[in-house]
Amino acid sequence: MFTLFSLRFILMFLISFSVSYFLTPLVRFVAIKLKVLDYPNQRKKHQIPTPLLGGIAVYVAYAVSILWNLEFSLELKGIAVGSTIILLIGVIDDWKNLPAGIKLAGHIAAASIVIFWGGSTISFIPHWPCEKILEIIISYFWLVGVTTAFNCMDGVDGLATGLGIISGVCFFAIAYLTHQSYLGFLSIALIGACAGFLRHNWKPASIFLGDGGSNFIGFVLAGLALLGSWSDTNPMVSLGIPLLILAVPIFDMVYITASRIKNGNVRNLHQWIEYVGRDHFHHRLINLGFGERGAVIFIYFLSLSLGISAIAISRTGFREVILLLTQAIIILLIITSVMVVGRKEE
């Protein structure tokens, strides 16, 4: 049944979409004037200098929508403030190239705000000794790791933005079905902001998200995973839902990290942060002949199929959860095969 509550979500989407869509050309103009551009080189596909700072348009649209709603919880405030720090660090990095250590420290500071001020942490751990400490440590790794994973996916026009929409839709669907209002508010604001920007970011992109935008989207999604209440009785569901929704970027980051360590390309944390290569999932698909748009659409469908499994898990029993998780594992094995074959084609 259509309700005033549903109307609020629709209005939040329209606000964030409109602000993002119409603000992006202005941000592009400013980026060109300030010469905050991504210049072509051997490892990049674009042929002309392309403005960065697109994340500013996404962030402003998201923030305007949230502020218009005028309904906040402490957890929502924590994610909002933390994501603002992430955006600022990324924008400065796009402009002035910050050292890796400063970026990492900023990400940890933003995660601390979500965890300690907002009170959002991983909550699937059973009652073990040092349970709270474990939850805090894992929450740090989760927030920083997912943020980094989304930044890694921003290597092809429209990929990170589209994954932000798909992941946001999955989180919103569960929020709507389970009446989690604050999760729904943040999700729908992010969906609209990314959707408005995608028109300008689709190949050939007239503007890029930049590190500020891709890190911002990843951080918000990581925060949504902590904010949501996925299951009161089944730790497997609590763990499985956010992992499935964000499986593609997480798996890509884990796989390439292991591969780079094995091949000797990365030997310490500093090298891991700074290393840039063409060995990500989307690069492997392009090497196999998918083309850039084909690779993006293929990854969209993979992410959507895993996200639908996550939505189904939230509404099913234990046996169905096992079947859906098995399906997800098979999909990840397919991705692994593509990664291996794609590397051979380099």
Annotated binding site for Mg(2+): 151, 211
* φ, ψ at 317 (rounded to 5°): -90, -175
Three-class secondary structure of residue 314 per DSSP: coil
With a CB cutoff of 8 Å and minimum separation 6, the contacts of 77 are: 117, 118
Q: How far are the Cα atoms of 59, 113, 186, 317 from residue 64, in angstroms, in the given order?
A: 9, 21, 11, 39
Contact yes or no for 247/328 (Cβ under 8 A)? yes
Q: Shortest CA distance to 215 belongs to which of 280, 279, 143, 167?
A: 143
Q: How far apart are CA 198 and CA 186, in angstroms?
A: 18
List residues forming the annotated binding site. 151, 211
With a CB cutoff of 8 Å and minimum separation 6, the contacts of 126 are: 235
The separation between CA 251 and the C-alpha centre of its own chain, rounded to angstroms, equals: 13
Contact yes or no for 31/52 (Cβ under 8 A)? yes
DSSP-based helix, strand, coil % in the chain, nearest 5: 75, 0, 25
